[in-house]
Amino acid sequence: MGESRVNASISAAELFEQQRERLDLRWIAGETGGERMLEAVQTVARRPSLAGYLNTIYPNKVQILGTEELTWLDGLDSRQRWETIEKIMQYRPLAMVISKQQHCPEDLREAAEESGTPLWVSPRRGHELLNLMQYHLARTLAPRVTLHGVFMEIYSIGVLITGESGSGKSELALELVTRGHRLVADDAPEFTQIAPDVLDGTCPDMLQDLLEVRGLGVLNIREMFGDTAIKSNKYLRLVVHLTKPMQDPLPSGIERLTGDSGTRRILDLDVPTITLPVMPGRNLAVLAEAATRLHSLRMKGMDPAAAFIARHSNFLERGDA
């Protein structure tokens, strides 16, 4: 199955443009530092953190200066103040943000200008800046990967349908849409690990609302089936993998009871996987729906195969008695 991992990064200028309206930011010094980059690999340890109040021991990537921070700076003697400001600039933060439209000290502005450190001002309170910046940076720089397949919402569960070219992924997706399920992305869904156990799947802008079906070409699912047939994003919970039967040996007895299930490693997460052989006469849409319902049961701690095996063992024990 095709997989393309993306190394996310963001520049100071990009962060400014993305948050400019929301935080009402003004750029007052250090415009030459717009190209400063923050790479995802730098954020793994999270110390220094992505955004936080002014910290000269563990400097944050985005340093927020609230009332208390500026008051603390004002309380230093001239030598300590100069050394502190010099130290902050040497850490090369992505940017510094002054909260509540406070007046920027002239020596801080000059140091930012000389060192090319982006210095912004916002009318927002410090905790608002912290929360919004931290959330935005965490999502932007989260590990992400592009997979080959069709990402669907089936019974409110995010299901990635995978398989070799020609295995019928798009045809299955089209039938599932006609049965009331929803399309998230065809061909190249992007998955972002936004939490240790959460993969959020979205569709690239180029492919939004589109599904390619052999013989029909590219279909606009939103125009054909309405807004309710499309979902903008969904958490990935299950992979349904389609295989051609000639590639697989006949299933063993135990596999016939338990099904062909396992896990697939995507980024740092093991995602449950169910493999369905594609054969003439099989209704794959019904099987995909059943696989999703079975996954839901297993997540609730119910396993029909395990229950049957236990019942069978109990029956044999009673027979021996």
Q: Is residue 26 among the annotated active site residues?
A: no
Annotated active-site residue in 22, 125, 256, 312: 256
Annotated active-site residue in 81, 100, 148, 264: 148
Eight-state DSSP code of residue 89: H
Integer CA distances (angstroms), 100 to 40, 129, 133, 157, 307, in order? 29, 10, 15, 43, 62
CB 73 within 8 A of CB 83: no
Q: Is residue 169 among the annotated active site residues?
A: yes
CA dist., res. 190 & res. 203, Å (int): 6
CA dist., res. 174 & res. 213, Å (int): 8
Annotated active-site residue in 61, 136, 187, 237: 187
> Which amino acid is residue 305, in one-letter code?
A
Is residue 37 classed exposed, middle or buried when 0-12, 13-18 and 19+ CB atoms within 10 A define those classes? Answer: exposed
Eight-state DSSP code of residue 165: T
**How many C-beta atoms lie closer than 10 Å to residue 202's C-beta?**
18
Integer CA distances (angstroms), 33 to 48, 88, 120, 171, 190, in order? 20, 15, 12, 50, 30
Q: Is residue 256 among the annotated active site residues?
A: yes
User: What are the structure tokens assigned to 303, written together?
Assistant: 């396993």
CA dist., res. 57 & res. 66, Å (int): 17
Annotated active-site residue in 124, 144, 169, 237: 169
Q: Is residue 61 among the annotated active site residues?
A: no
CA dist., res. 108 & res. 31, Å (int): 14
SS (H, E, C) 201-268: EECCHHHCCEEEECCCEEEEHHHHHCHHHECCEEEEEEEEEEECHHHCCCCCHHHHHHCCEEEEEECC
Could you tell me which of 140, 8, 22, 36 has the C-alpha nearest to residue 96?
36
CA dist., res. 173 & res. 163, Å (int): 12
Catalytic residues: 148, 169, 187, 256
